[in-house]
Amino acid sequence: MIPTGGPFGGPPGSTDGGAASGRVPPTLRILPGPKMTKTDRVCVGAIAGAFGVKGEVRLKSFCTEPTDIASYGPLSTEKGDRSFRVTLTRPVAGGLGARLSDVTTKEEADALRGVGLYVDRARLPSLGDDEFYHADLIGLEVRDTGGALLGRVHAVHNHGAGDILEVAGAAGREGLLLPFTRAVVPTVDLAAGRIVADPPEGLD
């Protein structure tokens, strides 16, 4: 999901380190959304298919405040070959009802099932200290505090008890699930493309 000033006050699309909250121990918060790529765009939602018979779609929003997906202006597909203005119509089970510009029939809406909706990163607020866009974390190298390669960030999960980095193990190593907290992930160096992790006993 793309946060919009959630519990830690982070801007849309960010992971908030919690520095401003003064919480101890501080938590580096990730709000995940699928189909994010390390580019100049961030995925803020996806089309789940048609809703009704008049071209309305069921929209999955990856925003902390789901309705904010309509506030970024036109949203584009991953390839950038189509863009849509989003008009929200009603809440629906598992998402939002919406109308997309130039989509007027059920068949057109169904043809867009599974399409991710992206926004230019420049249209999102600037990040503060200890805040990261989810898209920037995927693929980062993960090393332990002794420099040994553990693997790379494959995915991010949150099942309600906190944010978890799924690390695909390096050759000869099993994968890891790391709580994304300062204690376990003391360093995120985007410039170097690296995370330093201090896995809890039993995980390393």
More confident residue, 190 or 25: 190
Do 10 and 60 reside in the same domain of the chain?
yes
User: Does residue 105 register a pLDDT over 70?
Assistant: yes
User: Tokens 């790529």 appear where?
Assistant: 37
- Read off the CATH number of the domain in which 21 is found: 2.40.30.60
pLDDT digits (tens, 9 = 90+) for 110-158: 999 999 999 998 887 677 777 777 777 889 999 999 999 999 999 877 6
Number of domains the chain contains: 2
pLDDT digits (tens, 9 = 90+) for 30-57: 443 334 444 588 888 899 999 988 999 9
Do 113 and 156 reside in the same domain of the chain?
no
Do 118 and 39 reside in the same domain of the chain?
yes
Asked if residue 131 belongs to a domain, the reply is no
Asked if residue 6 belongs to a domain, the reply is yes
For residue 96, the model assigns a pLDDT of: 95
Do 92 and 164 reside in the same domain of the chain?
no
For residue 203, the model assigns a pLDDT of: 63
User: Does residue 1 register a pLDDT over 70?
Assistant: no
Residues 6+ apart with CB under 8 A from 179: 162, 163, 164, 165, 185, 200
204 — pLDDT class (breaks 50, 70, 90): low
Do 118 and 149 reside in the same domain of the chain?
no
Do 70 and 147 reside in the same domain of the chain?
no
Asked if residue 203 belongs to a domain, the reply is no
Q: Taking Cα atoms as reference points, which of 67, 96, 72, 66 lies closest to residue 84?
A: 72
For residue 138, the model assigns a pLDDT of: 87
More confident residue, 141 or 160: 141
pLDDT over 90 percentage in the chain: 46
For residue 4, the model assigns a pLDDT of: 40
Of 123, 158, 182, the last residue of a domain is 123
Residues 6+ apart with CB under 8 A from 24: none
Host domain of residue 57: 1-123
Distance of CA 182 to the CA centre of its chain: 19
Do 106 and 149 reside in the same domain of the chain?
no
Do 21 and 117 reside in the same domain of the chain?
yes
More confident residue, 26 or 52: 52
Q: For the whole model, what pTM was predicted?
A: 0.62
